[in-house]
Amino acid sequence: MAYQAGGQRPAPRPVPVRPEAQAYLRDYARFLEAVSFPSLVVDHRWDVVLTNGAFTSLFRGVGPHPTAMPDDNFLRFVLFHPDAGTVLGEHESRWCLPMLAHFAATVERCGHDHELQAIRQDIAEDPIMEAAYRQGLPHWIRAVGETAVESDGAVRPLLHPDPRWGATECRIIEETPATLSDLGYTRLTLVLRETRRAAPAPRGLRRTRRASGHLAVVPTPEP
């Protein structure tokens, strides 16, 4: 039986990495730590391989979760963690839907992958998220264009815990050297942008923590 979003996540199948590749990854982790913006390296499932200190600082206020921590699987974090909306601004429309679009495209290419199948099962078990995936997502992609699937260059809102940034935006930059690409990994950096401060939202509307990480932007279809 497939695990649930809040249940036990199965251990991923180990990916053999040559000793020279392991050494490269160790050095790349040191390089990543020198980057001042939040940066992470993921595989095609969005399992997180490497992060830097700026990434850790961005998500330092996120509570524990058995399957959806940001430094474990970033896709699961966006979709299922109840604290995701406290860091990812306009969480449902600006983060969940683009990530669902990326996931749908990946499933088309790698539908046999056991981890992707498990994520798909978790989506199916939530009626609202399943409605978003089946009905809302195709409509959204038609409205915004096929480029919505791509992360590189996207500008998305953030709520940074550091008051020097606060409510800001980031541009997602995908910059993957050939060695990482050969290993099946992708590097993403969230380049924080200086933005004009808007008037603060009413107290009850700021950094709202949802009871679950599930979507509400697409209503459940009527029977």
- β-strand partners of 170: 156, 192
Cβ neighbour number for residue 23 with a 10 Å cutoff: 11
Grouping H, G, I as helix, E, B as strand and the rest as coil, residue 190 is strand
Q: What is the pLDDT of residue 147?
A: 74
Every domain of the chain and the residues it spans: 19-194
Q: What is the pLDDT of residue 223?
A: 43
Q: pLDDT tens across 50-94, in order?
A: 999 999 999 999 999 999 999 999 999 999 999 999 999 999 999
CATH topology of domain 19-194: Beta-Lactamase (3.30.450)
Grouping H, G, I as helix, E, B as strand and the rest as coil, residue 120 is helix
Tokens of 74: 């970033």
Answer left, alpha or beta for residue 210, where phi above 0 means left and psi between -120 and 50 means alpha. beta
Tokens of 34: 């020198």
Q: Which residues touch 10 (CB under 8 Å, ≥6 apart)?
A: 3, 114, 115, 118
Which amino acid does the sequence have at 28?
Answer: Y
Low-confidence ranges of the chain (pLDDT < 50): 1-14, 198-199, 201-208, 210-213, 218-223
CA distances from 160 to 35, 49, 54, 84, 164 (A): 17, 23, 11, 12, 8
Cβ neighbour number for residue 181 with a 10 Å cutoff: 11
CA distances from 202 to 82, 86, 124, 205, 208 (A): 21, 15, 34, 5, 11
Q: What is the pLDDT of residue 204?
A: 44
